[in-house]
Amino acid sequence: MPGKKDKERALKIFKLLGQEYPDVKSALEYRSPFQLLIATILSAQCTDKRVNIVTKTLFLKYPKPIDFVNAGYPEIEKEIFSTGFYKQKAKSIKNCCAILVEKYKSRVPSDFEMLITLPGVGRKTASVVSGNAFDIPAIAVDTHVKRLSNLLGLVNTNDPEKIELLLKELLPEELWTNSSHWLATHGRNICSARNPKCGLCIISNLCPSKKII
């Protein structure tokens, strides 16, 4: 369990990140919970930029869950090929949409526990959808969140679920959803894995992993 000082330090870090990136939002482009769900499934092992290129035409062709259900696997696979792991993703999307149609009247459930029962949906995807589509506080742990959380000494594990739960203990609920965006944005802009720009980092004084420039 994190102590008072741990929580105070975490709050300082995320307040500074919030000042640096005041208008953060999901890098995935979407117009509905359904679109965000599909985009997040596609984002596994793929850049958000590539997913946005693919979904621009994908959602025109398949605007509703039933459209994916009625489509053949080869057709879906061709559309999402460039996102990688296209066979497994096509299977997940098609099965997920079948459940949405049969069980939820083609609507994406807002409840986290219901979301994680859908094919192709793990805690990260459920957190992205809950936090961004339904404004329900959630922390999505992607590669940036995992890497920066460890570098900052907020956690000491590579287990995404443990990281999620530890960050939730450190931060107040109102910061949960944006905390993922702040870490991901900072990871892309400043704290890259290959070339961290510690000299430009707004939180370098709070980072035990900073490089002395």
Domain count, the chain: 2
Task: With respect to residue 212, please indicate whether it lies within any of the assigned structural domains.
Answer: no
Which positions of the chain have pLDDT values less than 50? 213
Residues 75 and 128 placed together within one structural domain of the fold: yes
Residues 149 and 177 placed together within one structural domain of the fold: yes
Task: With respect to residue 211, please indicate whether it lies within any of the assigned structural domains.
Answer: no
* Phi and psi torsions of 32, nearest 5°: -155, 160
Q: pTM of the full predicted structure?
A: 0.92
Residues 128 and 43 placed together within one structural domain of the fold: yes
Asked if 48 is an active-site residue, the reply is no
pLDDT at 213: 45
Task: With respect to residue 149, please indicate whether it lies within any of the assigned structural domains.
Answer: yes
Residues 37 and 127 placed together within one structural domain of the fold: yes
Residues 149 and 115 placed together within one structural domain of the fold: no
154 touches 179 (CB < 8 A): no
pLDDT at 2: 77
pLDDT at 211: 75
pLDDT at 212: 54
Structural domain that includes position 38: 33-133
Q: How far apart are CA 87 and CA 92, in angstroms?
A: 9
Catalytic choice (89, 142, 168, 210) = 142
Task: With respect to residue 213, please indicate whether it lies within any of the assigned structural domains.
Answer: no
Residues 70 and 126 placed together within one structural domain of the fold: yes
Residue 185, domain CATH: 1.10.1670.10
Q: Of 100, 133, 166, which marks where a domain is finished?
A: 133
89 touches 127 (CB < 8 A): no
Catalytic choice (89, 94, 124, 146) = 124
Q: Of 116, 133, 150, which marks where a domain is finished?
A: 133
Residues 74 and 143 placed together within one structural domain of the fold: no
Find the length of the chain.
Answer: 213
Residue 104, domain CATH: 1.10.340.30
Q: Of 101, 133, 165, which marks where a domain is finished?
A: 133
For residue range 126-179, list pLDDT tens digits in order.
Answer: 999 999 999 999 999 999 999 999 999 999 999 999 999 999 999 999 999 999
